[in-house]
Amino acid sequence: MMTDRVTLLNGKFDPLTLSQTTDAIFKDLAEGKRGWLCTVNVAILMMMRDDARLQQFVDCASIIVADGQPLVWIAPWLDKPLPERVTGVDLVESICARAVIEKKSIYLLGATSSIVEILANRVQNKFPGLQVDYADGYFSSNDAATKADKVRQSGASILLVGMGVPRQESFIEEQWERLGVGMAIGVGGSFDVLAGLRRRAPNWVQRLGLEWTYRMLQEPRRLFKRYLITNLQFIRCLFAEFVRQKSN
């Protein structure tokens, strides 16, 4: 899309609402454009600083949206405002609703076979007429090409990949020419939430920018260290950026 992007530390973001993001996706599809969309939160932004390949993948995305309330809060201080947070969970549902209207099919790739099947059934029930194909995300690097071929053979216009960062991004990048889709989107753990395996934080928790805390309480062993490190790194980077701006 390459709008006038908002710069936040090492990330650049399209200043789009959820509705505008969905419009942009289907506009690109209508115009025959191909690309990927990245939803970036604080943890991913910090991961990008230490992972040049992930940084480059995000920088090359057709659309980049902020999936983190803290990013929306700090945007006016570092560059220009971002209108709102655009989460992977909300984006999946918005895409499914629009895909029915536009008669576009989607492909769900990720999670276990039972979870992705539950999710496929849920979205088909919630959005009657939605064309959905799916496969689990548990496969070796040797099987990645075969998985990509099945996505292409399905004829799907949109691929939603829920395999975690940076594995989902690596898969999209490595298999891009095989996939054949118009738009690929990595949505992390959204499949687990949409399938009912994980609870989503209440709206008031999301508005306070504390959804990461809610997630961590559900998976403390896996997420505590990750969030502790990335949040401290984010605060340190913000402080350094504010000092740099004050000195200029």
Angle, to 10 degrees, between the axis of helix 167-174 and the axis of helix 144-154?
Answer: 70
Q: Residue 216's pLDDT is what?
A: 56
Query: Would you state the structure tokens that stand for residue 79, as one six-digit string?
Result: 């560059």
59 φ, ψ (degrees, to nearest 5): -60, -30
Angle, to 10 degrees, between the axis of helix 18-30 and the axis of helix 88-102?
Answer: 40
State mean pLDDT over 86-107: 97
Per-position b or e across 50-75, b if 16+ CB within 10 A of its CB: ebeebbebbeebbbbbbbbbbbbebb
Q: Which residue is it, tokens 């209508």?
A: 30
- 119 with 108: CB under 8 angstroms? yes
187-203: pLDDT as tens digits: 999 999 999 887 665 67
Residue from 219, 146, 148, 152 nearest 189 by CA: 219
| Residues facing 8 on adjacent strands | 11
Per-domain boundaries in the chain: 6-194, 205-247
Q: Residue 222's pLDDT is what?
A: 62
- 12 with 66: CB under 8 angstroms? no
Q: Residue 248's pLDDT is what?
A: 72
- 21 with 168: CB under 8 angstroms? no
User: How would CATH label the architecture of 6-194?
Assistant: 3-Layer(aba) Sandwich (3.40)
- 16 with 86: CB under 8 angstroms? yes
CA dihedral 124, 127, 194, 166 (to 10 degrees): 80
pLDDT band with cut points at 50, 70 and 90 for residue 247: confident
- 132 with 158: CB under 8 angstroms? no
Tell me what percent of the residues of the chain surpass a pLDDT of 90.
Answer: 78
Least confident of 96-110, 199-213, 224-238: 199-213
User: How far is 38 from 230, CA to CA, in rounded Å?
Assistant: 18
Entry pTM: 0.91
Q: Which residue is it, tokens 């025959």?
A: 32
- 71 with 85: CB under 8 angstroms? yes
Per-position b or e across 111-120, b if 16+ CB within 10 A of its CB: beeebbbbbb
46-84: pLDDT as tens digits: 999 999 999 999 999 999 999 988 999 999 999 899 999
